[in-house]
Every structure is written in C-alpha cells, then in structure tokens.
Amino acid sequence: MSLVKKDTSTERHGNSLYNEAVVLEGHDSAVLTAKFSHDGSSIASGSMDRSILLFHLPTYEREDINYGVLKGHKSAVTSIRWLHDDYSLISSSADATLALWDLETGSKVRKFQAHDSHVNEVDVSKNSQAVSVGDDSKVVLWDTREKNEINVLDLEYPLLCCTFNKEGSVFYVSGIEPTIRAFDMRKQDKTLWECDTNTESVTSLSINNDDSMLLSRSLSGNIRTYSAKIFVPEGISRKSPFIYNGAPSGNENYLIRACFSPDNTAILSGAEDKTATLFDLKSRNIKNKFIGHKASVIDVDFSTRGRFILSTSVDNSIIVREY
C-alpha cells in the first residue's frame, strides 16, 4: 500500500489547530493507543479493530487528514511508538506479536515473535532498541534492525507497562505485581533497583525529559512519582509520599496511561470519567479536565512541538487540542 507523504510543513499553515478540539475518526472500535511523531507533524493510533491509522496534525482543514492505514495484526493493537527517524513505527498487539512498519510504503517490514500471549506495551529507545512486556510475564529486548530477540527475562507475574529512559540506557517494567523494576541495558539480567507501589498494580510508566523522575499510574487510578536517579541515599525512599488524585478508574480495569509534559511541569492522564486530566507537577493540583469524549479515556500524549495534546477513548475516537 502506498501512503501519502506526511506533511512536515505545519509552520506554513500556522501553529494552531483549526478548531479548539479536533476529533479524529476512522477506527471501528476502542482506540487503545496514540502517539505524536517526534517532529510533531503526524499522529499514529492503534485500536481494538486491529488497525493503525496515520493522521496529519490538524492545523488546517483538509480532506486527507487521515493519510494512511496499516493492517496486519490479528488482534487489538495495544501500543505504538514512532522510531526516531519518524519514518518507521513499532506496534504491539494482543496477537502476541510486535510489528515494524515502513511508513513511506505502508508495509510491514518485520514481525517480532517471542511472547506467548497478549503483548501489553512496547517502547523504543533512541538507539533503535525496543522492550516489550506481556501477560506471559516476559520482558523481551529487541534490536529493531534484527528479526530475533536479543534477550528474554522471565518474571513471575503478568507485565502491563514498560518504558526506556531518554538516554536509552535504562528500562523500567511493572504490572500485576506491585513492584517497579529498573534494568541497566548493559546488565539486563539483574535489576538496577526495585521499588514497591503500595500493593497497587501498575498500568502505566513514563519518564520525564531529564531522566530524573519516573511516573506511574495504578489500576486503582492513583498517580505517583519516583526518583529515577541511579543512586538514592540509603534510608531515602524512591517513592514520593504524594498521590495525584482526580483522574479516576472504575470497574472496567482498562490499562489507562499517564505521561509528563515535555517541559517537566505537568502530568496528563486518562480517566474513566471520560476526561483527560492535566495536573500541575509541583502543586499536584488539577489544572484542567478536558471533556469531549463519550467514554473512558485510555491513552494520552504531549507533542514535543507546540502546546498540543491528544487523548484516545473507548468511544473509538482521538481528540487533539491545545492546552
């Protein structure tokens, strides 16, 4: 399938969206994941309908805002990440595989198979290495330029989330067991550090822009930060005693995600109250509750170019807006 080349000239059309909140449609089922490209010109989304859609950033009205459809997974697309060249994409799926996509041709370049069941999340480093976690309790390390895995770590309980630090030197995993584990890419078979999360299963992990702070969101809806520094003085807990409240979870057990803003001043989270909730990092106060979705909000993301955010929902849509 041939794709329309993504538009990298948003400055030519202005740096504002054509509407206060732009709804991106095209999926036939719940949208579980979406991410801005690194240059901010595009958005990719994945859904329970097994497809990945590509959108131009809607800075002006256009007919070809949805410029690509990627199909090939046999079950729900659970997470997606842009590689740093912005011309490749990696996705994880409930079909127990990952896929690498060439966005210039719309073709699946590589299929990754090492998991035994549902893959819940994948993340990719600036060095083109990837980490994936799943219900099979496996952490799998990949080089996206190679077909086979480079390492597999077998943990005891199902894993729901993972992330690299910005340097790509450390990765973090968590899930059903209420523990966050950090691993050094140079010594993958031994944890760098571990931290309990007060008996709460973790559905989301995110790192801030200077690699100093890690963010978790739990299945209960609690949002908390941790020191991500390699060394923490003895007797000092990595875990902040404070919780960000106001982005609730319900009884659906969705894997709702949260993330830091690029300037490290705010946190954005999905919620089962149909909103995307923006917190001030320092005060922990709610700065805004963005409405518009008709069902639970699952994934959220900040653009690194301009003050844009997106949110995905069980209502089959993505909403892009300025904050």
Contacting residues for 85 by C-beta, under 8 A, at least 6 apart = none
pTM reported for the whole predicted model: 0.94
Question: Which range, of 48-57, 172-181, 229-238, 284-293, averages the lowest pLDDT?
Answer: 229-238
What's the pLDDT band for 26 if we cut at 50, 70, 90? Answer: very high
What's the pLDDT band for 153 if we cut at 50, 70, 90? Answer: very high
Q: For position 12, what pLDDT does the model report?
A: 41
Q: Residue by residue, what is the 3-state secondary structure of the chain?
A: CCCCCCCCCHHHHCCCCCCCEEEECCCCCCEEEEEECCCCCEEEEEECCCEEEEEECCCCCCCCCEEEEEECCCCCEEEEEECCCCCEEEEEECCCEEEEEECCCCEEEEEEECCCCCEEEEEECCCCEEEEEECCCEEEEEECCCCCCCEEEECCCCEEEEEECCCCCEEEEEECCCEEEEEECCEEEEEEEEEECCCCCEEEEEECCCCCEEEEEECCCCEEEEECCCCCCCCCCCECCCCECCCCCCCCCCCCCEEECCCCCEEEECCCCCCEEEEECCCCCEEEEECCCCCCEEEEEECCCCCEEEEEECCCCEEEEEC
Of 159, 163, 183, 139, the residue nearest 258 (C-alpha): 163
**Portion of the chain with pLDDT greater than 70, in percent:** 96
What's the pLDDT band for 260 if we cut at 50, 70, 90? Answer: very high
| pLDDT over threshold 60, residue 180 | yes
| pLDDT over threshold 90, residue 9 | no
Contacting residues for 221 by C-beta, under 8 A, at least 6 apart = 245, 247, 248, 249, 256, 271, 272
What's the pLDDT band for 2 if we cut at 50, 70, 90? Answer: very low
| Assigned fold of 22-152+220-322 | Methylamine Dehydrogenase; Chain H (2.130.10)
| pLDDT over threshold 80, residue 141 | yes
What's the mean pLDDT in 146-165?
96
Q: For position 233, what pLDDT does the model report?
A: 87
What's the mean pLDDT in 103-117?
96
Q: For position 199, what pLDDT does the model report?
A: 76
Q: For position 228, what pLDDT does the model report?
A: 96
Q: For position 145, what pLDDT does the model report?
A: 93
Of 108, 76, 69, 104, the residue nearest 90 (C-alpha): 108
Average pLDDT, the chain: 94
Between 60 and 130, the more confident residue is 130
Q: 189-244 pLDDT, tens per residue?
A: 899 999 998 878 999 999 999 999 999 999 999 999 999 998 888 889 999 999 99
| pLDDT over threshold 70, residue 10 | no
What's the pLDDT band for 299 if we cut at 50, 70, 90? Answer: very high
What's the pLDDT band for 56 if we cut at 50, 70, 90? Answer: very high
Query: Rounded to whole angstroms, how far apart are CA atoms 194 and 234?
Result: 14
Give, in order, the Cα–Cα distances in Å from 32 to each of 6, 25, 117, 174, 242: 22, 14, 18, 18, 28
| pLDDT over threshold 50, residue 109 | yes
What's the mean pLDDT in 36-61?
96
What's the pLDDT band for 14 if we cut at 50, 70, 90? Answer: low
